[in-house]
């Protein structure tokens, strides 16, 4: 099982997104501590009411991860997550391919359908079309990354005898899909390399318009069913599963480490392959202390 550090999110609009520490310095510390990946989320134009009531600020994840790529050597670079319907899928494919090429094959494209109606409206995208737009992105991303001529005729996008070069380093760039619905798991089994269930509790599930994630035993069954479904479709490649770990005691990683180790072991037994953690920190020193302490306690 591998670990992802999610850059701490600044809630509201009084603070600054980088209050938790300079991104370059944090990324270097994350790599040095033994984490396997660093992730960033996306809200390009969030509703003011949502932001004021606990929503969080974001950078553009693909731009910021490109910056991180230049400061690190081995960290995987994850969008956790990018909202596929917000972008033309060919522009999304090009941005991801660019990140993968420049980083030497370290990109992971975490995708979701999105849930903020005000954000869809501001971007000029029909909220009711988000699932159709998402499916077209899943169809077109591998065509773009193939580096071979292709044509595509879809509901929203059409391409005639086009080609995209350079190819990304990875074939394909891993796509991880976020959400808890049966539709999400079907998409993963057919199109993706990973599943990112949401584990933030009932309030987050309600906000994100996805079913609440069940207990670990139920999750283990869902994971087994997902992987069996992928195999039934002739797939032999592994399916990663990502779990965002929340525990009050993790604020100080050295407190009660045996309990956290037991929890990590339970997640591993359930079929989880990546665990996301983050610091509840709003300033540089606290963030760096968390990263170093977590690495020394669990990763070395």
Coil, helix or strand at residue 176: strand
pLDDT value, residue 214: 77
Over the stretch 137-165, which tens digit does the pLDDT of each residue have? 999 999 999 999 999 999 999 999 999 99
Over the stretch 279-294, which tens digit does the pLDDT of each residue have? 988 899 999 999 999 9
Over the stretch 165-218, which tens digit does the pLDDT of each residue have? 999 999 999 999 999 999 999 999 999 999 999 876 555 555 656 777 778 999
C-beta separation of 108 from 178 below 8 A: no
C-beta separation of 179 from 130 below 8 A: no
Distance (Å) of CA 276 to CA 41, 179, 208, 240, 288: 12, 15, 18, 13, 16
pLDDT value, residue 86: 98
**Rounded distance between C-alpha atoms, residue 240 and residue 188, angstroms:** 10
Q: Is the dihedral of CA 9, 13, 16, 19 positive or negative?
A: negative
- Name the DSSP class of 149: -
54-85 burial, b at 16+ Cβ within 10 Å, e below that, comes to ebbbbbebbebbbebbeebeebbbbbbbbbbb
Q: Sorting pLDDT into bands at 50, 70 and 90, what band is 102?
A: very high
Over the stretch 51-65, which tens digit does the pLDDT of each residue have? 999 999 999 999 999
For strand 150-153 and strand 175-178, is the pairing parallel, antiparallel, or unpaired? unpaired
Residue 26 neighbours by CB under 8 Å, 6+ apart: 7, 20, 38, 287, 288, 291
pTM of the model: 0.95
- Tell me the pLDDT of the chain averaged across its residues: 94
């Amino acid at each position: 099982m591998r670990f992802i550090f999610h850059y701490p999110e600044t809630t509201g609009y009084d603070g600054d997104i980088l209050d938790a520490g300079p991104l370059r310095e944090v990324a270097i510390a994350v790599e040095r501590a033994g984490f396997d990946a660093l992730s960033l989320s996306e809200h390009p134009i969030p509703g003011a009411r949502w932001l004021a009531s606990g929503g969080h600020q974001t950078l553009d994840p693909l731009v910021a991860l490109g910056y991180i790529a230049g400061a690190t050597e081995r960290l995987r670079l994850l969008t956790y997550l990018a909202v596929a319907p917000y972008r033309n899928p060919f522009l999304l494919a090009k941005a991801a391919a660019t990140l993968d090429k420049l980083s030497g094959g370290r990109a992971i494209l975490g995708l979701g359908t999105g849930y903020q109606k005000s954000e869809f409206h501001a971007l000029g995208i029909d909220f009711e079309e988000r699932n159709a737009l998402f499916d077209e992105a899943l169809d077109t991303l591998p065509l773009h990354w193939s580096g071979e001529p292709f044509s595509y005729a879809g509901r929203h996008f059409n391409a005639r005898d086009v080609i995209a070069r350079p190819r990304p380093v990875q074939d394909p760039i891993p796509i991880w899909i976020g959400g808890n619905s049966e539709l999400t798991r079907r998409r993963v089994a057919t199109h993706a390399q990973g599943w990112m269930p949401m584990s933030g509790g009932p309030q987050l599930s309600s906000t994100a318009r996805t079913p609440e994630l069940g207990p670990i035993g139920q999750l283990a069954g869902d994971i087994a069913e997902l992987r069996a479904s992928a195999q039934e479709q002739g797939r032999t490649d592994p399916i990663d599963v990502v779990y965002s770990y929340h525990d009050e005691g993790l604020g100080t990683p050295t407190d009660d480490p045996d309990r956290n180790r037991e929890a990590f072991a339970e997640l591993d037994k359930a079929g989880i392959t990546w665990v996301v953690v983050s610091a509840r920190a709003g300033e540089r020193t606290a963030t760096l202390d968390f990263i170093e302490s977590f690495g020394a306690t669990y990763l070395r």
